[in-house]
Structure 1
Amino acid sequence: MSGLPDVSKMSISKGMAAVYAPKKKPGNMGTETRFQTNLTRLEVTKNLVYYKYDVEMALFFRMPSGSGEINEEKPKIFTKGPKNDPDTQRRKGQATNVMQALTKEQAAFFDLSNNTLLYDRQAVMFSLRELNVPAQGVTFKLSSNLVTGKQEAAEIRVKIARVTENFQVSSNDVAKAVNIRPDQADKGILEVYNLLISQKPFKDQNWVTYGQCNHFMLKAPNGFGPDDLKPLEECMEMKVGVSKSVKVLEGEGKQPTVYAVTELKKTAIHRGNQNLVDKVLSMFNGQGGEVDLRPNSYNAKIVEKKIKGLTVALTYGNDAQKEPKTFTIGRVNGPAANSRETSFTGAGGEKYGSISDYLAKKYNVKLRYPQYFTVSPKSPMRGGNRPWFPMELLMVCDLQRVQKEQESVQNQAIIIRCSAALPEKRFNQTAAMKREIGLVSDNKMLLNAGIKPDDKFTMVKGRVLPQPSIAYAGQGNRPTTMQAQAGRWRIDRNRFVKAKVVPKWKWHILYGGQPRQSDDLVDDYYSKLIREMSDRGVEATEAGVAYHGRVNSNTVKAIFEEAKAQGIKFLFFISETAVKLHDQIKLMELEYQVLTQEIDYSRMKKTVTNNQRDTLTNVVMKINAKCGGLNHEMTLHGLKTQTKSPIESPNCLILGFEMSATASEAPCLGFAANHGANYQYFKGDYRFCDTKNPEALATCIRDICKTVVTEATAARKTAINQLVVYLNGPSEGSFKDLITLVTPRIEEAIAPSKQVTIIVASKSHNERIFQQQISGENATKQNIPSGTVIDTHIVSPVITEFYMNSHLAFQGTAKSVKYSVIHDQIGYDLNTIECLTHLLSFMHNIVNLATALPAPLLVADRCAKRGRNNSIAKYGSGSDGPVDFERLNSTLTYNNKPLRQIRFNA
């Protein structure tokens, strides 16, 4: 073994394959405590072999000549197809029916009395007994009536063949599922077990499965009442289910062990088999009068994002009742069906004056709403066209989830409230779903197939880290230090550590209705805020106040033009709730380089009438941070480790990158770092880049690192030779690219030292941690305490991982952050990394609370959101064309602009 290289001292840029950083010893700081989890240990039967087969199901048709001959060239393979929810569910249902019929018809071949089959309802099947399949595979024929009633359909053919690689998967291969070299991990056994524990929801018609791991019940089980699944607006319904996965983890005594993770989930689905026009009209319930849905109307624009991406079926035509044609809506706000704009000539030369005219003559269909806008498919239909269809002739397909963009604000709020169950309730409901999905010790199907689940969830040992101390300037220039309690503290009468002078500023009050000449509430708020600023040491000149009514984007632009002409550097907005100009204000901030802050008028009113000083303090904290000030400083206190913390080192830079985004958002990378003179002041920016392209992402991160290293070197007047980089968003599947592509580029920023530690943060995992004994009436008492850390038992056997809960949840159940140290050239012990991460969660600096994510990631997240919002405000959303990253980065980032030097998005 002495001939092997020391991976802890090796630069990835030398061309080696991906290798995780050596696994570190667990930390030992803090008070040891036991916790409950939502993980179930699976006892594995040894010496079982699972045989893996490829499955292809195809529907063949007869030649149109009428000869009865089968067309061998154009079968319809229904184990593949579009990925929208309705089509996927239909295909999987057909595949299930065909497989059930096949196993019954070919009982001797499959021998189910002595065998277990695990079919994923697509293209993969495992068998506990080796099937008599020749090298070229075996093909069975079944009646086409299993999937279609069309006369031209001839037969179904099912081909089963051995997979070309990893034909045999052994239950003895559990430890092979993880490897310090991710390329060499053999996850075949995890595929078997994931499929195995999905069998009950696959076969039960009360369940619907999205992907392979997200299972929802159409009818909620016992233990779920009206408060858990409230009615939704706009013809949507809420369903409860579970997201599950199977993993090989460190286990008790560091023996790699198989666990099933079950996370309670709720989702919204569109009510199926409903006329699309009725669904659209439901969006305007309560408005009274006739709804204007003509093309380009205000209502049409509101509806657009709510139905784009919806899969619908035609309600007219020869197959409308049995097998209707379906498509996913791609274009909305098309011409009215009675518009002459839609006139056309038919294939036989027939003249049609409009879509309405065509439907009346061709199908004897008279439209109720011919004046409404039409919609068209996302992809061309047969013949290569994307025709316009009246909404009233379309039916919403069943079992499709509501996309984020389709949710109303009201529905989002309902789902959030219903999902925010307290720990005790969430734990009990998760246990109920564990039983519903069949993860119990007496499940005969699981036992026959080689696993026995524990009936109870796994208990683990963890620790609670000490709380840090917070320093203020105190009163009368007498510094004050206090210790946080349970993730929070009171500022009392203390002044900020580094209070700033607010530059020339002006207040603007934005009303949705008539303008006012004055507002007593605003006057009171102004006086209170100025007094609070003075108490905290923040200085400001007298601000003018202007009042605006019936405001719009032109109002905002005029305000910034005036600010530019008058040399105003800070605009303070108070907006009525009905005024929705926040994104325009922030876009103007970027373009004019004038700081802004906006608060809601109703919140301002509540602050004044209820004398809420804490709320005033929070506003002043944001103002000071935006102006480059530092409200408080953290001291290590009980978090001091043997190794010097990176936050104390002038030569070490701490960065955060936010890499997560939805498919519909502009691809934007947010970042933040402590690259100024003060090591605890984190500021950031964003760049537009193709975050799904590893090479492009690596180049973008390298360029950012070089920039902040240069700025930090100048600010601190010393060389930067260490980088601690937090990444938020990447999944474990992308760790390989992070190590082999991104890491070498980051190393270029501090060559030749190349001392880089990379820590990936994730809140998208399914693991939950609960107190051993849950008690109390509210979230703060029931949730795990601030400082909770777990770095053994339920972590990876090969990656240094830990779960940390730095904040104290005030509602619902806390979601701990999972951290993975994937690369480490600096060599910190785990105590140092855990204590640093915990400390950084107290450095958000605009609240007196610890946050779930450490400050560099939280600031980076806010920057990424600002970038995406600015892009939408400037250019709109939903563009299908290529993204011009160079244009976006030159016009829509803060790079090389004055506000880049401060935390503009505090």
Structure 2
Amino acid sequence: MSFNFSGSDGLENQLERLKLVELPAKVSSGIRKESVAAVITNVWLLEINETYPIYRYDVQIFELYPGKKGTVEPRAKEITRNTREDYLIVDRRNKCLLVLKKLFEQNRDFFGNKSCLVYDRASILFSCLKLQIPKSGVCTFTRAKDMFSSDCIGVEVNIKPCVETFQLTSTDIKSTVSTCPENVNRNVQQFYELMLSQEAFFADNDFVCYDSNHCFLMKPEDFGFNEADIPILPEGKYCGVGSSKSIKTIRGAKQQRLMLSIVVDLKKGAFHIDNQPLVDKVSELFRRKTKSKLTKPEIELVNKMLKGCLRSCFKAVLQKFISFEELFGYLRHQEIYSKIVMFSNEPRLYRFSSREGLISVADYFKKVYGESLKYPDLALVVEKTSKGLNYYPMEMLEICENQRVAFLQQSALQVQNMIKACAVVPYRRHDQIKKLMRALKIDQGGRKNRWCQEFRVKVAEDCLNVMSKLVAWRPQEYKELFTAKCKQRGMGVQEPIFEDFINNADVTCVRKVFEKAKANGAAFIHFVTSDKLLFHARETAAVYKIFEISFFKRIFYLEQIKVFEALFQIITQNLKTSNAIQIRRRPQTLDNIVHKTNLKFGGLNYVMQMESKEAQNWIDRDDRIIISFDFAPTLLPRKSEVKELPSVLGFSANCGSHPQNYIGWYRYVKSNRDEVVFLTLVMLYSILDKNEKGLSEFIAEALRMTKKNRTEPKHIMILRDGVSEGQYKYVINTELEHVRKGCALYGGPNYKPKITFLVVTKNHNMRIFPKCFKGRSKFKDNIPPGTVIDEGIVNPVLTEFYLNPHIALQITQPLLLTSYLLFELQGSTNTPRYNLLYDTAKLTLDEMEGISFALALNLQITTGATALPAPVVIADAMAARGRNNFSGFYMEKKGNIANYTLEKFNAELGITGRPLAEIRFAA
């Protein structure tokens, strides 16, 4: 092992990488329960009947193109490299598969039987035979140019043994789990994951696969899915259906030996309609035929909804070089695939140079192609290249196939329709999972799967059954206590200081509203938007009615309310009159308004009552502080001079006078950004910078407030969301260290309270169903709230449990038959998973499960349970509030924030040390 001592930072980073993290050993299963019940899962055990070696190879595939003028060496383009674009992912992997299939067929002596090989369609190749690689360490194959595009002169394939882990053993399951994350070897799991995907990879036109975990059906109707399962979505999109699968190491229901299992779940995602003309796509966005010039708000919306899509073009490309007016045009004869950067209006103003002088886009196509553009006034599509900007007429373009809808391209209408499409009742979901297994040929024990037969792997015929327990809770008493107090005390409301009615309001009115409220000493402003419904407000409040706000203005207007709430430190409440109208039909709407208002003024709507004094003490200990935090990257609506955008740290803690009362803060911090692909979304996430003090100072401030309001904490319990298994080492080495620094900042080096760090997530594909579906009922086929599973399907060496605190999503929507009817849709429960990463308090599993369940019932806005514990929900909401306030502040300053530092952002928009810091202002 060698070290580079060229700089202190380099040495520090290398020593940091050498740190070994040891997670707590598995805690014994809990005994607290009211009853037990058998449940079924979407887990199938794998039986590996033989022990044999598996060899791993690295693959590189290059397309060869003519080199520069005067050179003989061809130009190589690697197609095994990763990319973020869906179309390119599928295109490159199809090319890689085509190349390797040809090599398999023509070099059987080298590769052996195709079923002996497992290929990920990119850079990883497993083989149960040791390939005869030359002494040079690389085996190179060259293919003729007949494989791809006309200008491709050949294909080169390099295969070499993997340097890190070359040889695996088929039954080496023990290496896949460890209390030390760095000692976990996932190569065996990766092999079986890929092996069970080979049928999908090699099936012609049955699947589109973006990785080994997620495969979508090209023709779902061929496998038993109907139109209701794959509805057409608005805005030129459709709902695709496929599978999400993974390999997990467990002990099984009877605590047997370590075994591998496959977890298969139904996966749905929104896709852009394949090969749809771009003009039709834009028309669907606005629900009207688009023929003429788009307005400025429409251009902004199109840029948001279509930016980043890959499109194809068979016509001319106009490229911008020196100035806006002087454009150079040239013709590409092959099909073009590239990414939409933006849409630009005023196409008639664009000119480029020709032999006869400057010529417009429309005149160019008329003269060169003899075609008149049908929509010469439609916006041009802009593509950014290394040489300049390319401009395309919209009617010459179409959307490439196999493109999932990105996170920022989702509209509220599309999300609403996707929620309905994804709300699959349990018995149907279980049935559809079986259909997906049949499509992947891993049903019937895998007897029809060529690779299962070759590698002697048997998939269990039936899904795994495990025992669950129902933990104690008292919902009836809890609700009656809350109702009784409301009836007894009510809510006193005085007349507001003043009321204003503003017609034709715009965003400039928001500041005036706050300035007037501040001058009159108002502590609370209640906004009612969109129509003329009168709504009364709480004492010492100013009431504003804002009417006739357009769709685009409304979004900005709501952001500005929250920005000025932070700037002026005045509590606000916004009510859409469309929601207020529903109060008679939905009295819970009024309940939520009252709950939020009470919380925003420092109140507590109810307290949880546990079944025993011991359990009550778990959530009512004055010397225990429960904390959650989360990060969110900031985004700007347009290009800015800000070189390094901050991230937002959202934070929540029960540091008030009552241990069940949680408040929240946010702060702008320095962090390192990265991207993670989860399911169908490419998301930004933030990794806290090691020198950032924001989290430490939040911890110290929460400890100070707890001591002031109750007593000095002896135990800190942290609930953290949004952490993957690969980030466990980062959490222990970085975030936990910031917690310790916060303790020292508060109480000095001798203050060392007990710390428990628990990670909770819903980002997994494990599903749990009752063993018997009760007559295919929509409302009784989910596991009940309070269901806990801490055996059978959990990590065999780490403390892990699944806790379902909530009722699955229910959607009420109109259905027009012969009359207006209401019906409900209900989905399948997505049970959160909890993992213990650190614990010096030595909590029992009963206590961890009891606290987590109680906190899920403690959101205070509604009397129902949330899927995640309340502090986790609050911290996430605070991070989102900080991100939205950053964008709104940018708009308020008209983009002039280049000279702002983190300290200045926090001074103007932050919460700590200001009047709103001691209440839950963002309820």
TM over 0.5, shorter chain: yes
1:191 & 1:559 partners in 2: Cα distance?
59
Which residue is equivalent to 1:207?
207
Is contact 1:660-1:729 (8 Å) kept?
no
Q: Which residue of 1 aligns with 2:627?
A: 655
2:165 maps to a residue whose letter is N
Give the letter for the 1:869 counterpart.
Answer: N
Bigger Cα displacement from structure 2, 820-829 vs 548-557: 548-557
1:540 is the counterpart of 2:493: yes
CA distance 1:836–1:254, change in 2 (3 Å): farther
After superposition, the C-alpha distances for 1:232-252 in whole angstroms (9 at most, x for unaligned) are 122212110011111212433
Match of 2:912 in 1: 895
| 1:606, distance to aligned residue in structure 2 (A) | 2.7
Where do residues 749-898 of structure 1 align in structure 2 (5 Å cutoff)? 749-751=742-744, 752-775=751-774, 779-809=778-808, 810=810, 811-875=826-890, 885-898=902-915
Contact 1:468–1:639 (CA under 8 A) maintained in structure 2: no
Structure 2: runs of 5+ lacking an equivalent: 1-14, 318-329, 532-547, 638-645, 672-684, 745-750, 811-825
Change (3 A) 1:386 1:536: farther
Partner residue in 2 for 1:261: 263
| Pair 75,16 (structure 1): closer, same or farther in 2 beyond 3 Å | closer
Partner of 2:611: 637
Per the alignment, do residues 58 and 354 of structure 1 end up closer, same or farther by CA in structure 2, a change over 3 Å counting?
same
C-alpha change, 1:444 and 1:290, in structure 2 (3 Å) is closer
Match in the other structure for 2:95: 94
1:599-748 matched pairs, under 5 angstroms:
599-608=575-584, 610=585, 613-638=587-612, 640-641=614-615, 645-659=617-631, 667-689=647-669, 690=671, 692-696=686-690, 699-716=693-710, 718-748=711-741
Shift of 1:697: 8.9
Contact 1:786–1:807 (Cα < 8 Å) also in 2: yes
Greater displacement, 272-281 / 94-103: 272-281
CA–CA distance in 1 between the matches of 2:372 and 2:314?
13
| Paired position in structure 2 for 1:474 | none
Q: What are the equivalent positions in structure 2 for 1:393-408 lying under 5 Å apart?
A: 393-408=396-411
Shift of 1:291: 4.8
Q: Deviations over 1:491-544 (max 9, x none)?
A: 674225xxxxxxxxxxxxxxxxxxxxxxxxxxxxxxxxxxx8xx5443221134
Per-residue Cα deviation, 1:339-363 (whole angstroms, up to 9, x for no partner): 0xx44557xx874344445555666
State the 1:228 CA deviation: 1.7
* SS of corresponding position for 2:702: helix
Is residue 573 of structure 1 aligned with residue 527 of structure 2? yes
1:43 alignment partner in structure 2: 47
Shift of 1:64: 6.0
Moved more, 752-761 or 556-565: 556-565
What is the alpha-carbon distance in structure 2 between the residues aligned to residue 304 and residue 14 of structure 1?
Answer: 42
1: CA distance, partners of 2:364 / 2:291: 26
Asked if 1 retains the 8 angstrom alpha-carbon contact of 2:635 and 2:887, the reply is no
**Is the 1:139–1:160 Cα contact (8 Å) retained in structure 2?**
yes
| Alpha-carbon distance, 1:397 to partner | 1.2
Q: What is the aligned counterpart of 1:329 among 315, 334, 340?
A: 340
Q: Percent same amino acid among aligned pairs? A: 28
Alignment of 1:454 onto 2:460 = yes
Q: Does the CA contact (< 8 Å) of 1:118 and 1:125 recur in 2? A: yes
In the TM superposition, 1:126-141 aligns within 5 A as 126-135=126-135, 136-141=137-142
Cα separation, 1, equivalents of 2:352 and 2:316: 19
Moved more, 253-262 or 693-702: 693-702
Secondary structure of the corresponding residue to residue 635 of structure 1? coil
Q: Give the alignment of 1:135-150 within 5 angstroms.
A: 135=135, 136-150=137-151
Deviates more, 1:156-165 or 1:597-606: 597-606
Partner of 2:504: 550
Q: Contact 1:467/1:483 (CA < 8 Å) preserved in 2? A: no
Over residues 50-78 of structure 1, what are the superposed CA-to-partner deviations in whole Å (9 max), with x where a residue is unaligned?
11111111122345669xx8524x21212
Between 625-634 and 316-325, report the one with greater CA deviation.
Answer: 316-325
- CA distance, structure 2, for counterparts of residue 493 and residue 771 of structure 1: 32
1 CA distance for matches of 2:489 and 2:256? 52
How far apart are 1:894 and its partner, in Å? 1.9
| 1:692 match: secondary structure | strand
| Shift in alpha-carbon separation, 1:637–1:879, aligned structure 2, 3 A | farther
Contact 2:264 2:433 in 1 (8 A): yes
* Aligned partners of 1:109 and 1:132 also within 8 Å: yes
Structure 2 residue matching 1:767: 3-state secondary structure: coil
In the alignment, is the contact (CA less than 8 A) between 2:625 and 2:717 conserved in 1? yes
Deviation larger for 318-327 or 653-662: 318-327
Structure 1: which 5+ residue stretches go unaligned? Answer: 1-11, 470-481, 497-531
Q: Equivalents in 2 of 1:176, 1:584: separation in Å? A: 53
Q: 3-state DSSP class of the match of 1:237?
A: strand
How big is the shift at 1:289? 8.3
Distance change in 2, residues 1:182/1:444 (3 Å): same
- Paired with 1:282 and 1:369, the residues of 2 have a C-alpha distance of 16
Give CA-to-partner distance per residue, 1:302-351, whole Å, 9 cap, x none: 2110111111122215999984222112233x253320xx44557xx874
Q: How far apart are residue 582 of structure 1 and its match?
A: 2.7
2:688, 2:257 → 1: CA distance?
34
Change (3 A) 1:468 1:688: farther
In 2: Cα distance, 1:888 partner to 1:315 partner: 48
Secondary structure of 2:732 counterpart: helix
Indicate if the aligned counterparts of 2:633 and 2:883 stay in contact, CA closer than 8 A. Answer: no
How far apart, CA to CA, are the structure 2 residues paired with 1:884 and 1:144? 55
Q: Which residue of 2 aligns with 1:596?
A: 572
SS of alignment partner, residue 705 of structure 1: helix
2:106 is matched with 105
Q: For the residues of structure 2 that align with 1:654 and 1:231, how far apart are their CA atoms?
A: 45
* Cα distance in 1 for residues equivalent to 2:599 and 2:368: 67
- In the superposition, relative to structure 1, how do residues 778 and 275 fare at CA in structure 2: closer, same or farther (>3 Å)? same
Tell whether the 8 Å contact from 2:482 to 2:606 is kept in structure 1 after alignment. no
* Kept after mapping to 2: 8 A contact 1:769/1:784: yes
1:150-299 equivalences under 5 Å are: 150=151, 153-204=152-203, 205-221=205-221, 222-252=223-253, 253-286=255-288, 291-293=292-294, 297-299=296-298
How far residue 791 of structure 1 moved from its aligned partner, in angstroms, is: 0.8
Per the TM alignment, residue 103 of structure 1 is displaced from its structure 2 partner at its CA by 0.8
Amino acid at match of 1:804: L
**Superposed displacement of residue 388, structure 1:** 3.0
Check whether the contact 2:634–2:648 (CA below 8 A) recurs between aligned residues: no
Secondary structure, counterpart of 2:430 in structure 1: helix
Give the root-mean-square deviation of aligned CA atoms.
3.0
**Alpha-carbon distance change, 91 to 881 in structure 1, aligned in 2, over 3 angstroms:** farther
Instruction: Quote how far apart the aligned CAs of 1:759 are.
Output: 0.4
C-alpha distance in 2 between matches for 1:639 and 1:803:
25
Cα distance in 1 for partners of 2:474, 2:916 equals 31
* TM-score under structure 1 length normalisation: 0.85
1:451/1:92 CA distance change after superposition, 3 Å: same
The answer (yes or no) to whether the contact 2:283–2:290 under 8 Å persists in 1 is no
Distance 2:423 2:273 in 1: 24
Q: 2: CA distance between counterparts of 1:618 and 1:881? A: 37
